[in-house]
């Protein structure tokens, strides 16, 4: 497979502040390897772009535009939530992919996503063997949830962690100012349906030089109302105020999400009101402390303006490594981040077998959560700290971050007919 072939790149699942840095890593590296890689096509809206033969010709973008991707959040080519079934369940989709890939002479497949996408990428890699279509499929890790196996951490997470820790610190300064006559408890809801990595970052708001009474509610720890209220009371008595960082994925001992508890609209329909207002209301009812609550939602994962430099560098590096691995003949691999030192922090990229990544979820280890279940341990702190380090602000225009928008010129279709998803 040493003849020159085209490549396909797509973004998948929830986007992040730095997934476009990975795209820049892929595109710039492919451009430097023109002898081996012809055109780099991006899927419009992820794998759907391949199924629909809706490809974007990235060669139409200037070098300057690609450089600007590095500081632009979200998915420049569009992402999707679409999981390929197995080859046996839906052979039709794989046949279509092969049809599109052959029509455009695509020999390299780069898929930039989380756990589900790793599974999709693995399935594509098997086309090579099972359907006799030669392709090199490399998965590029990306997820704010930080829940991928094998890799030390996931590009996208460090920036969310930095956003959540900085926001918790800032809001804590605010509530500390107000506590004497007004708000005593501030609640911030963060992402992480299944794993508490993002919530853990909230505890980083507090450190030896800037102590802040933060209480974290992890999805890994069943919510205990009495213990929680006692902890809030203890912290408010000691410090005058408290900040609560609650994961959207917190569940009670009954397994139900906190956010599902009891809120109903005027018609009696259950409302998903968020975990933050539920926790805040509990504090009001039981302890009579005035509260404020915020839900960060998309703000946390798109906040490129406060991205971690470490995260941006790693996101770029996995994109670059993916191209290099494919050119070296790799298939069904993922560039993983390997931590080689903590003081100073050092990391390198190594190839991980995609079978060890796909469909595995890495939760927060038990020894990262403090004994009372409301904080993080020194070990967790040592893990998180370097991932949040360094700033890489975007350029500003008229007071706002100046983000790139690509032309996203379509590649002329070669196949007849539409493909129904």
The piece of 31-39, 69-77, 109-117, 219-227 that touches its own copies (CB under 8 A) is: 69-77
Task: Label the pairing between strands 333-342 and 345-353.
Answer: antiparallel
Show contacts with its own copies in window 210-239 (CB under 8 A): 210
164/352 with CB nearer its own copies: 164
Q: Scanning residues 275 to 294, which ones bind its own copies (CB under 8 A)?
A: 276-277, 281, 292-294
Q: With respect to its own copies, which residue has the nearer C-beta, 80 or 358?
A: 80
Choosing from 96, 123, 142, 162, the residue that interacts with its own copies (CB under 8 A) is: 162
Name which of 176 and 364 has its Cβ closer to its own copies: 176
**Active-site residue among 54, 119, 145, 311?**
145
* Start-end of H helices in 193-241: 197-202, 225-239
Sign of the alpha-carbon torsion through 323, 326, 331, 336? negative
Q: Can you tell me which of 261, 339, 363, 413 binds its own copies, judged by CB under 8 A?
A: 261
Q: Which is nearer to its own copies, 34 or 346 (CB)?
A: 346
CB of 129 to its own copies, least distance (A): 29
Name residues contacting its own copies, limited to 20-59 (CB under 8 A).
Answer: 45-46, 48
Size, binding site for its own copies by CB under 8 A: 85
- Among 236, 169, 204, 158, smallest CA distance to 375 is for 204
Known active-site residue 145: yes
Is the bond into 17 cis (omega within 30 degrees of 0)? no
Q: Which of residues 348-387 bind its own copies (CB under 8 A)?
A: 385
* 371, 399, 416, 420: which one binds its own copies (CB under 8 A): 399
Q: Per the structure block, which two tokens stand in for 172?
A: 């804590």
Closest CA to 179 of 285, 289, 295, 283: 289
b/e per residue, 97-107, with b = 16+ CB within 10 A?
bbbbbeebebb
| CA–CA dist 129, 413 (Å, integer) | 27
Q: Under 8 Å CB-to-CB from 365, ≥6 apart: which residues?
A: none
Q: What residues from 77 to 136 belong to the interface with its own copies (CB under 8 A)?
A: 78-82
As annotated, the active-site residues are 145
């Amino acid at each position: 497979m040493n003849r020159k072939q085209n490549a396909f790149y797509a973004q998948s699942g929830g986007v992040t502040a730095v997934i476009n840095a990975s795209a820049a890593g892929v595109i710039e590296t492919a451009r430097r390897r023109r002898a081996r890689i012809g055109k780099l096509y991006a899927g419009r809206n992820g794998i759907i772009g391949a199924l629909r033969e809706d490809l974007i010709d990235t060669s139409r973008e200037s070098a300057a535009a690609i450089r600007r991707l590095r500081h632009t959040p979200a998915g420049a080519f569009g992402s999707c939530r679409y999981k390929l079934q197995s080859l046996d369940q839906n052979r039709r989709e794989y046949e279509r992919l092969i049809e599109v890939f052959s029509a455009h002479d695509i020999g390299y497949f780069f898929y930039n996503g989380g756990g589900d996408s790793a599974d999709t990428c693995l399935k594509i890699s098997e086309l090579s063997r099972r359907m006799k279509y030669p392709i090199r499929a490399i998965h590029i890790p990306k997820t704010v949830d930080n829940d991928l196996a094998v890799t030390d951490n996931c590009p996208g997470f460090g920036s969310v962690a930095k956003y959540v820790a900085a926001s918790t610190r800032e809001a804590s300064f605010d509530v500390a100012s107000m506590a004497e006559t007004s708000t005593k408890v501030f609640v911030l809801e963060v992402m992480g349906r299944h794993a508490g990595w993002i919530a853990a970052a909230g505890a980083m708001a507090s450190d030896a030089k800037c102590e802040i009474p933060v209480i974290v509610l992890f999805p890994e720890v069943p919510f205990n109302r009495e213990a929680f209220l006692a902890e809030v009371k203890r912290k408010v008595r000691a410090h005058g105020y408290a900040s609560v960082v609650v994961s959207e994925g917190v569940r009670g001992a009954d397994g139900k999400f906190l956010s599902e508890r009891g809120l109903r609209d005027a018609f009696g329909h259950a409302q998903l009101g968020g975990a933050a207002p539920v926790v805040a209301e509990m504090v009001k009812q039981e302890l009579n402390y005035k509260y404020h609550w915020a839900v960060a939602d998309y703000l946390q994962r798109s906040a490129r303006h406060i991205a971690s430099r470490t995260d941006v560098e790693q996101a770029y590096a996995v994109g670059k490594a993916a191209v290099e691995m494919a050119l070296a003949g790799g298939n069904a691999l993922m560039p993983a981040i390997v931590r080689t030192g903590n003081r100073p922090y050092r990391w390198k990229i190594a190839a991980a077998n995609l079978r060890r990544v796909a469909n595995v979820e890495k939760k927060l280890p038990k020894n990262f959560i403090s004994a009372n279940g409301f904080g993080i341990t020194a070990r967790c702190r040592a893990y998180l700290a370097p991932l949040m380090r360094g700033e890489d602000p975007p350029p500003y225009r008229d007071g706002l971050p100046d983000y790139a928008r690509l032309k996203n010129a379509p590649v002329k279709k070669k196949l007849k007919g539409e493909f129904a998803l």
